A and B are shown apart, each in its own frame.
Chain A
Amino acid sequence: MGGGGGGSDSVKLGFVLPFSGTYSFLGESIVNGVKLRLDQQLDGEIDGRTVEYVRQDTGADPSTGASITQEFLQSENVDFIVGPVSSAVAGAMKPEIAGTGSAIWLNANAGNYKLVQDNCTKYHFRTSFNTWQTSAPLASFVKNNVSDNVVLSYANYTFGQQSKNLFREEFESIGGTVVSEIGAPLGTSDYSSFLQEIENSGADAVFSFFAGSDAVNYIKQFSSFGLNETMTQTGSGFLLSADTLQAQGKAALGMYSLLHYTPTKQSDRNQEFVDAYSGQFDATPNVYACQGYDSGLAAEMAVKEAGGTDADTMVDSLSGKELDSPRGYFKFRSSTHDPIMDMDIRQVVEANEGVRNEVVETLSKVEGPTWGCSL
């Protein structure tokens, strides 16, 4: 199969995302972001071609993700695959997409750096981030502004392990000390005894990776046991992102995190996006919505530049190109097709209703390693 979509006059996007269960909120946010760009702002057309969508629910199951991808590629003839949320699902999808070579994969959330490290494929464009970007660059900020010793706490699965390992490498390379590390099973609901181990470590700061309900449980309990009075909590941005922050509430005050999108970021481009998004969906955009929106931008650019939907031509029209992303600077790195982008260090502060993240420093054009990938 060469390129070619559903018809010569259409562009077909396949959403391989969770639409049920815990991650459905993330899936819906990504879809909203894509549709904001393609349906609302472009009236459902790219370069005179009608935009069509197909969607199926992956849950959080890699094998479901793989079979949906197969179906979308072989039976639906999609031009773009948008998704998934989970890195494990992405790992299962990659061989299918690389093997078929008939569609562009806009990876709208899965950050696993190994997607690039092991047999990187040119069809994979990350409209999201990689694990290195959301962990390692925080190290120098922590070392210079917070503490030269940390304890690491993380959800014990691939993503959590990668985040704490990458942070650890960077932190130690600039002379910081990692006192100890504590992994908690994914989906732990009571962190109290893990918190005791964290407290006993005697470190002055904590770097963590937790996400979703784990992040809420961890942060709430961290503060209820008073650890926030003696230690400074820092972490990958998903620890304190817009989708969990309201549930974490005042327990999260003063904590630092690193992420590529912050809805409260002061820039005209972002304000325009926030206004458009909240006007359409009656909600503040979160990082997932931004990743979806950027996927929409990427699809638009690919089709326009390529003058069609041939996958190989579209690869060339995206590689090394910049997107006008609400997050700030964004460029698909030619060697990996990962983004080179601005990263925000944020601190949780009080707001009118509850709390919000405030950008304290923006690290510009963060690249990170290429892991031996040279496309």
Chain B
Amino acid sequence: MATKSLKARHLELADHNRQLEILNGGLFEEGELPYFKDKIAEIGEFPLKPRNLEILQINVGYMCNQVCEHCHVDAGPDRKEIMTRETMELCLEVIRNTGAHTLDLTGGAPEMNPDFRWFVEEASKAGIKDFIVRSNLTIIRANKKYHDLPQFFKKHNIHVVSSMPHYTKGKTDKQRGDGVFDKSIKALQELNAVGYGMPDSPLRLDLVYNPSGAFLPSDQAAMERDFKKALKEDFDISFHNLFAITNLPISRFLDYLIASENYDDYMISLVDAYNPSAVQNVMCTNTISVSWDGWLYDCDFNQMLDLKVASKVQHIREYNEDILQNRNIIISQHCYGCTAGAGSSCQGVVT
């Protein structure tokens, strides 16, 4: 398992243009598979338009204490991109004025941003209904200075959404690195200890399942049942919901697909599993994604491909919801990942 990002290893897939070349070429260029835009045109959804803004997703930096094999952010300890307090101030102004009811902080490990706690405290005052922090769990155990995160989250009524690829050690460590499973279990127990994830608790703890390989997630409800049973029986851990998320073929997951000679078959699986009823609810239709340096994107995946919003408003400093609502959403072949099967988003299935 690699311990550095694609960027630190100077690999060609660290370049978003190269990723787009691959996504637009191969089976699609040869006519074997239909382009995503043609597929959604069949149901009258091209160009894809946004609905009401509900979620403001802010990526506060690509730095992470883990180097997961499937990471679409290409995050890791060697990534130095980090949101400054100045950009956070701009985000706070938008948070106070936006129609969004959900604030979704992501990374990297968002907790590693030195201004993370300040930002959470300030954003908490803005009256957002659902304040999500996407935690990789191990950060809570990574260093003494993070040990009190469960109490900090509780104090601000943060909705914790945590990565957990499987309820067995082998599968989890293979995707996320040796020792990740044991640390994640310990972190979940600590979150439970302060009240997170208990059946009637208002302290929401949801888990995110990403397949650990070149296959799609199965039925989310069935997976949730299996996770709940195994984690309760083996470790006395409780949580609320499991979000099953399809891995999108970009960045490190794309690198894995190509290196393991699974790319073509994976794209065929995504296209075969295309579900037109998922199109209207894909996350880009109700989300704006903000990068560490304040640029605006339709989703976190477009952010990593540097596909900025198609609007005259492209940066948080000039944020204007009315103008943004009139944009066309930028799509490419990776979007098949969000419309496969029951559909996929940062909140799990969409149908």
A binds B: no
Q: Which residues of A contact B (CB under 8 A)?
A: none
